[in-house]
Amino acid sequence: MQTQTVTIFRTRKQTAPANPPGAARRWSVGEIAELLKLPFADLLYRAQQIHREHFDPNAVQLSTLLSVKSGGCSEDCGFCPQSAFHSAGVENQAMLRLETVVQAARAAQQEGAGRFCMGAAWREPSDAELASVAEMVRSVRDLGMETCVTLGMLREEHVAQLRAAGLDYYNHNLDTAPEFYGEIITTRDYQDRLDTLERVRRAGINICSGGIVGMGETLEQRAGLIAQLANLDPYPESVPINNLVKVEGTPLGDAPDLDPLDFVRTIAVARITMPGARVRLSAGRQQMSDTVQALCFLAGANSMFYGERLLTTGNPDVEHDRALLDKLGMYPFTEKT
């Protein structure tokens, strides 16, 4: 079997949290591509077996995402309606007040969410902006919720401030494979993302990092994304898999649809290669049928964004999600696990 070389990022083990189960396994792009090509039933069977070895198969972690500052981002990500380079109708929004964020977190907690994620449309935060977000982190943690933020690139001193505030997770997606990255983003390079993840890991903060599929990448490039994530040392504790949400006014607004079964395959391969991670259904769920989402859970997804919006794009409403989980006999892991 012919394999493809892939650049791997490693963190320093002495300052990183304990490796999740199976973190020592190394994967080539070729091996992952072969997984993606397995017969569908065989792939899901293997993924479900691995899933059951590490998690309650009927429990799902619920997260809610709030945009604390929207629009005007100086990055040119081809998928993002918040980029200042695109005309997608997203207005610039100043940072939300602390009281507004805490109120939203409290409401999410009452609806069953165990983790509250806060996102801001920045290339990287200023000192003052970072200080405001750190206060949000402290206040949300005081409610008894896990916290996650996504703020773009971080300097060492900003990572230290977030660590001192008690941040549980930092989200910084790799988005796609290194070989395809330049087709999607030109205002920063792949190493910028890896450097931020390394700083976060060294500080002892959990990593939430995944990517987006359906942006026109090949199967091999999709395999390259999974290889990058799976070979992080250790791999991320949370792995959000996003299905491209096509927004008019962005360069990818008319990208061809990804076959839903290919999305399910991506979930299954993420589960096989990162057995101890929370694999999260993220953007794109609003466009998925209940059947496709059920297949994703069967393939090993055990986390989902819960609430009516993901930053600036829609998400299934809470009542629909509750009905779906009830039909599947699933429940929030914080309640019964």
Domain count for the chain, please give it: 1
Report in angstroms the alpha-carbon separations of 173 from 5, 100, 176, 177, 238.
21, 26, 8, 11, 11
Number of Cβ within 10 Å of residue 242's Cβ equals 24
Q: Is residue 19 part of a domain?
A: no
Cα distance between residue 284 and residue 210, in whole Å: 14
Output the six-digit token pair for 321.
Answer: 């999600």
pLDDT of residue 88: 54
| pLDDT at residue 197 in the model | 96
| Catalytic sites, residue numbers | 73, 77, 80, 117, 148, 208, 280
Q: Does 26 fall in a domain?
A: no
Q: Provide CB contacts within 8 A for 148, sequence distance 6+.
A: 63, 115, 116, 117, 118, 167, 168, 169, 170, 171, 208, 238
Is 7 within a domain?
no
CATH assignment at residue 93: 3.20.20.70
Interatomic CA distance for residues 149 and 266, integer angstroms: 24
Rounded Cα distance, 222 and 329, in Å: 31
What's the pLDDT at 317?
76
pTM here is: 0.84
The separation between CA 301 and the C-alpha centre of its own chain, rounded to angstroms, equals: 12
Range of the domain at 105: 43-331
Per-residue pLDDT tens over the stretch 197-227: 999 999 999 999 999 999 899 999 999 999 9
Residues of the chain with pLDDT under 70: 1-24, 71-74, 76-91, 307-316, 334-337
β-partners of residue 171 are 208
**pLDDT given at position 42:** 98
- The pLDDT of residue 183 is 85
Count Cβ atoms below 10 Å from residue 240 Cβ, excluding itself: 27
Evaluate whether residue 6 is within a structural domain.
no
What integer pLDDT is reported at residue 274 of this predicted model? 97
* Rounded (to 5) percent helix, strand, coil in the chain: 40, 15, 45
- What would you measure as the largest C-alpha separation in the chain, in angstroms? 56
Query: How many CB atoms are located within 10 Å of the residue 232 CB?
Result: 22
Establish if 16 belongs to a structural domain: no
Separation of CA 334 from chain center: 20
The per-residue pLDDT for 319 is 84
